[in-house]
């Protein structure tokens, strides 16, 4: 890993203008439904870029370690991604910024933040299950942000749906026109390799011994492939003719406009088709471009330095026990140690401790360019959504908070651990793991945790114990709806039963909590002047 990461540093430092350096960046996220193989494809891409020597199964079976992007012990134990992670590495003459996202629906807020920081997304589909609910939700976020989407049909080495049926499903259910760039020879579960539709070249693929290394690939002529695979080759050829007749050919303008999606086939756990995916990302994914600002006009990439924080994470490495603010660079050149301005406060901020992140690992970085993700260490003055800049003031749109639907009072019975308890709660709030609410009737000793999904509570209690040594108890509250109100609304709601107003700690917003939507409508009907914003 070390040698390739040095290559990445050299690419970063090579002489070129900001625009030239930005053109060499590809910053993308992998999105999928849980268990579609998202973390596996993330690691397989790193393997093919030769920044790791061997892939590990998601569950780390036998002597195989867990994926590099799943750095949290809870992730490694469960074999799922519950937090986003950043990997940066060099491939060919390109710098890849790959952001792995949580697959579970309960962490959709974290995924949304990540999607604000990328220029492209890889949508991973399970060959057997096709489009699943969480994939649909994440795609809608991409559609709203006009993020180009490239589709990878995963697990083609296992029984699954018909390839043409999956193309129909993509077009019918999400409205993207699928334009396959590779096409499989052999049905799902009997995968022999892929045909490159642009060149007609067939690449036979075999899993490496043990499956942890690069796939064994062999280019084969049409006559030889037809003789070896017989009817399966004939079927693939007929399907290719059908695709040609329907003009399902790649159109770069349509892809960048997010109206079509290039499609590739493979099997991430066996590293089949991953090299093709990585090459396509380098060739077709868009580099960074001018970015919209809160004031309206786009910020050109060659303007003075600017960037925004999209994620905060603490205790990624037990050897460091520090807090890292993940910043997407939007314009200009970043130099470690430069003094920038915090847009929210107008105060200067020194970027002395800046690092390149590779999963749990990290290296000091001296320079970075638009599209890069830089980790600012111990930047406790920064919050999610904060903008940093030099020169002319600029500020990027704030990152919204999702309305919580689950609420619980958190307490510890260990009075000697109260300082650690408060420090842990503050940390979880700063990272956006949960929203922390202050209740007048319960006081500061019993804050209320608010979450989009119940699994966020599991992560919060796990981290409080693992990182801060505090065992807590949760008492769930009977609320399902949170609506923003004001001071006048708070006074009105004091007279209502089964309703409670709390203050969100991170921004002092007043949230009115209701047990269900019917109750909220009933209260609103009796108080027409009451402000309730869901």
104 assigned to a ligand binding site: yes
Residues with Cβ within 8 Å of 375's Cβ and at least 6 positions away in sequence, in order, are 86, 324, 325, 326, 327, 354, 355, 356, 357, 362
- Are 43 and 55 spatial neighbours (Cβ–Cβ below 8 Å)? yes
Q: Is 2 annotated as a binding residue?
A: no
Residue corresponding to tokens 């790959």: 98
Tokens 């009105």 locate to 492
- Residue 160: phi and psi, rounded to 5, are -160, -165
CA atoms within 13 A on the CB side of 460: 36
Quick one: three-class SS letters along 412-433? CCCHHHHHHHHHHHHHHHHHCC
Query: What does the alpha-carbon distance between residue 250 and residue 255 come to, in Å, rounded to a whole number?
Result: 8
Is 101 annotated to bind a ligand? Reply is yes
Phi, psi of 158 (to 5 degrees): -120, 160
Whole-angstrom distance, CA of residue 180 vs CA of residue 494: 59
Q: Give the residue carrying structure tokens 């919580």.
A: 404
Residue burial 430-441, b: 16+ Cβ < 10 Å; e: rest: bbbbbbbbebee
Distance CA 423, CA 323 (A): 13
Q: Where are the beta strands (DSSP E) in 50-171?
A: 85-91, 94-100, 120-126, 149-154
- The C-alpha atoms of residue 511 and residue 502 are separated, in whole angstroms, by 5
Length of the chain: 534
Show binding-site residues for GTP.
100-104
Show binding-site residues.
100-104
């Amino acid at each position: 890993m070390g040698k390739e990461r040095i290559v990445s540093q050299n690419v970063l430092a090579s002489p070129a203008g900001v625009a030239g350096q930005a053109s060499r960046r590809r910053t993308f996220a992998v999105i999928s439904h849980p268990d579609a193989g998202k973390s596996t494809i993330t690691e397989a891409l790193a393997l093919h870029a030769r920044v790791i020597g061997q892939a590990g199964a998601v569950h780390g079976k036998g002597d195989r370690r867990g994926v590099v992007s799943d750095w949290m012990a809870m992730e490694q134990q469960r074999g799922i991604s519950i937090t986003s992670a950043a990997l940066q590495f060099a491939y060919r003459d390109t710098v890849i910024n790959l952001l792995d996202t949580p697959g579970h629906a309960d962490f959709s807020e974290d995924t949304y933040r990540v999607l604000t920081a990328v220029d492209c997304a890889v949508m991973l589909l399970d060959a057997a299950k096709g489009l699943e609910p969480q994939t649909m939700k994440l795609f809608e976020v991409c559609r709203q942000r006009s993020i180009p989407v490239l589709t990878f049909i995963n697990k083609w080495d296992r029984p699954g749906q018909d390839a043409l049926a999956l193309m129909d499903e993509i077009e019918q259910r999400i409205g993207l026109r699928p334009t396959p760039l590779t096409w499989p020879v052999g049905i799902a579960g009997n995968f022999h390799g892929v045909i490159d539709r642009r060149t007609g070249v067939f690449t036979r693929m075999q899993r490496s011994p043990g499956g942890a290394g690069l796939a064994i690939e062999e280019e084969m002529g049409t006559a030889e492939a037809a003789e070896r695979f017989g009817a399966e080759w004939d079927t693939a050829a007929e399907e290719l003719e059908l695709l040609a007749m329907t003009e399902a050919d790649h159109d770069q303008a349509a892809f960048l406009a997010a109206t079509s999606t290039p499609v590739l086939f493979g099997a991430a756990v066996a590293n089949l088709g991953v090299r093709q995916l990585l090459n396509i990302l380098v060739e077709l994914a868009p580099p960074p471009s001018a970015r919209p600002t809160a004031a309206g006009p786009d910020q050109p990439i060659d303007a003075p330095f600017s960037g925004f924080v999209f994620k905060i994470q603490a205790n990624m490495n037990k050897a460091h026990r520090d807090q890292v603010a993940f910043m997407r660079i939007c314009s200009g050149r970043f130099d470690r140690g430069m003094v920038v301005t915090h847009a929210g406060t107008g105060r200067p901020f020194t970027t002395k401790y800046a690092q390149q992140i590779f999963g749990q690992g990290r290296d000091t970085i001296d320079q970075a360019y638009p599209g890069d993700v830089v980790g600012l260490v111990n930047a406790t003055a920064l919050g999610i959504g904060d903008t940093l800049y030099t020169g002319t003031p600029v500020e990027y749109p704030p990152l919204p908070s999702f309305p919580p639907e689950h609420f619980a009072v958190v307490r510890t019975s260990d009075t000697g651990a109260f300082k650690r308890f408060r420090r842990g709660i503050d940390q979880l709030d700063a990272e956006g793991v949960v929203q922390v609410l202050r209740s007048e009737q319960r006081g500061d000793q019993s804050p209320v945790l608010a979450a989009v999904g119940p699994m966020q509570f599991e992560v919060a209690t796990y981290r409080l114990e693992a990182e801060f040594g505090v065992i807590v108890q949760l008492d769930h509250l009977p609320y399902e709806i949170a609506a923003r109100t004001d001071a006048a609304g708070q006074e009105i709601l004091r007279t209502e039963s089964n309703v409670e107003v709390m203050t969100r700690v991170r921004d002092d917003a007043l949230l009115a909590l209701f047990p269900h939507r019917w109750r909220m409508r009933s209260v609103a009907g009796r108080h027409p002047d009451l402000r309730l914003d869901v």
